Amino acid sequence: MITENQAKALASLLHEIRPRWSAPAMLKLLEKNAQHPAPFADITVAAVNAARDHKIETPGAIFIDQRFWPDTIKAVLPKPPPCPDHIGKDAHNCASCWADVKAGDRPQTHIGTHYEAPANAGA
Ligand SMILES: [Zn+2]
């Protein structure tokens, strides 16, 4: 649960940590997730963890990537969407997709989304 006051406080805190994450955009994200099952303290921990991770570009990752959440709350978190190409893997950080990218079989833009290799033009 996130109340309006909590959302405002957390939005400006996150904006202070990550200037590119605008307070209004953060407010919108927190409002969208206002019914989240985690207590506000845990949501704050996850949000700050995500904001500190410079590999994270978009704040939406806060509510998708379970690495940012305290262990005690992980059991009640909504399940992240699965990778459509790899059963049992999470779409946002699918290790099998990354392996495909490294092997040159998948463009990096298709991590966690369905990808069909183009038919071989020379065949
Ligand atoms: Zn995958």
Task: Find the mean pLDDT for residues 59-68.
Answer: 91
Residue 90 CA to ligand 1 centre (angstroms): 7
- C-alpha of residue 24 to centroid of ligand 1, in Å: 33
Compute the distance from residue 58 Cα to the ligand 1 centre, in Å: 20
Tell how far CA 115 is from the center of its chain: 20
Q: Which residues surround ligand 1, an ion (CB under 5 A)?
A: 83, 85-86, 94, 96-97
| Alpha carbons 40 and 121: distance in angstroms, whole number | 54
State the pTM of this model. Answer: 0.72
Say how many Å lie between the CA of residue 51 and the centre of ligand 1.
25
**Pick from 47, 51, 86, 52: nearest CA to 69:** 47
Tokens at 20, concatenated: 């590119």
- Residue-range domain boundaries for the chain: 4-76, 80-123
Query: Ligand 1: distance of its center to the CA of 37 in Å?
Result: 27
**CA–centroid distance, residue 114 to ligand 1 (Å):** 8
Token pair 């995500």 in the structure block, residue: 50
| Band of pLDDT at residue 75, cut at 50, 70 and 90 | confident
Span 9-28, pLDDT tens digits = 999 999 999 999 999 999 99
